[in-house]
Amino acid sequence: MTQRHPTGINIIVVLMIIGGLVLLFTEITPLFIGHLISIDSDYSTSALGFLITIGGLVLVGLGIASLIVSWGLLKWKGWARTTTLIISIIAIIYAIISLASSGDLIHIISVIIYGI
């Protein structure tokens, strides 16, 4: 007899997978263009491109972590619950900061996905 997951856990897993994929696909771009932005007219590097690249790396890592945690939730791993809370809090804080700084309403989607 197989153990059936509660519906709430399945919803959280689906949202974590969606959030992880969104983070992966949206933050791969800064990894590739961050070093291009960092080149000034005299071919010296600036801090802006470096920060964009580091931010992209952190968020790609967060996306990968979301996918791993989703797998852990499906397999009823004890560490997955705590890690889900930590990832969700980090993603919500990042989305709120992005919303406040850019004014793009697209960041509300992240707040909704990770807020549930």
Backbone angles phi, psi at 62, to 5 degrees: -65, -40
CA dihedral angle for residue 83, residue 17, residue 104, residue 101, rounded to 10 degrees? 20
pLDDT digits over 30-74, tens only?
A: 667 666 665 666 555 566 667 777 777 888 888 888 899 999 988
pTM of the model: 0.70
Instruction: Determine how many CB atoms are found less than 10 A away from the CB of residue 27.
Output: 19
Residue 83, CA distances (Å) to 20, 67, 73, 75, 112 in order = 13, 11, 10, 14, 18
pLDDT digits over 16-42, tens only?
A: 888 888 878 877 776 676 666 656 665
Please state, in angstroms and rounded to a whole number, the distance separating the CA atoms of residues 13 and 63.
13
